[in-house]
Amino acid sequence: MRYNPNSAMIFCAGRGTRMKALTETRPKPMIEVGGRPLVDHALDQLGDIPHRVANLHYLPDLLEKHLHSAGLETVFEEDLLETGGGLKNALPHFDSDAVFTMNTDAVWKGPLAAEILSDAWQPDKMDALLLIIPKSRTHAHLGTGDFDLAPDGQIRRGQSYIYTGMQILKTAPVAAVEDRHFSLNRVWEDMFAQGRIFGVEYNGHWCDVGHPEGIEIAETMLKGL
């Protein structure tokens, strides 16, 4: 049976240290690209997903007001819990067994990311489905690569594809971790071992805006390649 999640976790708690002076007075999700906050570019990719929750920590007031006006729930973290811990802390806000998760330090050009993930999601054989993109269609990304994609859709650590920061993830493996502070990479490792982690390709363009140079590159991408 197919079941497409209708809830999303948006990661907004980080300090954004790679943005240097730009995050001295505002959280990274509120940095503007093309006249709009980064978090709004991220939310666009969720389409009509109705239930959205964001975690907050660094300089939360401005971001909280902005997100509440957009209809999001927010969860404040007294200390940074990383991606896995942040999602685990927010699990009481979700009533589904799988959720979208997404980072907010990227800008997209192309089809809706959530629709691509939903169309490819097969919960009978997947515990996680990551949205990935070939390096040839990434912009401003400083890394060498994250994954390779097998013909059956399973992924393994490699360098052919970049993780876009968006996925569908079952919540039970996150809830099972006893620690408070942990990365989702820890959850993924168990899924790799069990053959339960898959990837699907984003067929648009994607720009990393986790560093200052990415802002101008993203704006150029949005205007036309």
Give the CATH number of the domain where residue 75 resides: 3.90.550.10
In a domain, 142, yes or no: yes
Residue 185 maps to a domain: yes
pLDDT digits (tens, 9 = 90+) for 56-84: 999 999 999 999 999 999 999 999 999 99
Q: Tell me, yes or no, whether 2 lies in a domain.
A: no
pLDDT of residue 1: 37
Residue 214 domain flag: yes
**Residues in contact with 162: Cβ distance below 8 Å, sequence separation at least 6, in sequence order:** 132, 133, 134, 135, 138, 141, 143, 145, 146, 206
- Flag whether pLDDT at 2 surpasses 60: no
Range of the domain at 46: 7-223
Query: Within a domain: residue 1?
Result: no
Q: pTM for this structure?
A: 0.96
Instruction: Give the chain's mean pLDDT.
Output: 96
Number of domains in the chain: 1
Query: Is 218 a domain residue?
Result: yes
